[in-house]
Amino acid sequence: MPSLANAVLEQRNLDEPNHPNHSNTRIPGNWKRVGMLPTATRRSQAFAHGLGRGPELSYVYECPHADRRIYVDACSNPIPVSRMWRHTTSEAPHEYIEWVRAWAGYPIASHQAMILEQHHQERLERRDPARRAERNLAQARRLAQQRRQRRAVQQAARVASAAPDATEATVARGIANAMQAVHNLVRPLRPNPEAAAAAASPAAPAASPAAPVAAAPAPALDLASAWALLQEQVPGLLRAQAEQAAAQAAAAQAAAAQAAAAAEASRTVTCAICMDAMPEMVFTQCGHAVSCQACTHKLEGWASGSGQQHRKCPVCRRSGSVIRIHFG
Q: Provide the sign of the torsion angle of the four alpha carbons 6, 9, 13, 14, taken in this order.
A: positive
List, for residues 73-101, the tens digit of each pLDDT value: 888 888 887 788 888 877 776 777 888 87
The CB density around residue 258, as the number of other CB atoms within 10 Å, is 14
What single letter denotes the amino acid at residue 151? R
Whether 58 contacts 109, CB under 8 Å:
no
pLDDT at residue 28 greater than cutoff 90: yes
pLDDT at residue 223 greater than cutoff 80: no
Query: Whole-angstrom Cα distance, residue 324 to residue 280?
Result: 6
pLDDT at residue 298 greater than cutoff 90: no
pLDDT at residue 248 greater than cutoff 90: no
Please, what is the Cα angle at 241 between 238 and 243, to 5 degrees?
110
Predicted confidence band of residue 304 (pLDDT cuts 50, 70, 90)? low
Supply the mean pLDDT for the chain.
Answer: 75
Which residue pairs from 215-222 have beta carbons closer than 8 angstroms and sit at least 24 positions apart in sequence? 217/188, 217/192, 218/187, 218/188, 219/188, 220/188, 220/189, 221/185, 221/186, 221/188, 221/189, 222/189
pLDDT on residue 216: 45
pLDDT on residue 86: 85
Longest dimension (CA), the chain: 157
List, for residues 130-143, the tens digit of each pLDDT value: 877 888 888 899 99
pLDDT on residue 208: 46
Q: What are phi and psi of 193, to 5 degrees?
A: -60, -35
Closest-CA residue to 300 (of 122, 41, 93): 122
Range of lowest pLDDT (52-56, 82-86, 137-141, 173-177): 173-177
pLDDT at residue 212 greater than cutoff 60: no
Helix residue ranges per DSSP H, the chain: 2-15, 43-48, 111-127, 129-161, 166-186, 193-200, 223-267, 293-298
- Between 179 and 122, name the one with better pLDDT: 122
pLDDT on residue 295: 86
Q: Which of 106-110, 160-164, 202-206 has the highest mean pLDDT?
A: 106-110
pLDDT at residue 156 greater than cutoff 70: yes
pLDDT at residue 320 greater than cutoff 50: yes
- The pTM score is 0.38
Range of lowest pLDDT (55-69, 135-149, 217-231, 264-278): 217-231
The pLDDT of 153-157, averaged and rounded, is 82
What single letter denotes the amino acid at residue 59? Y
Query: Whole-angstrom Cα distance, residue 42 to residue 48?
Result: 10
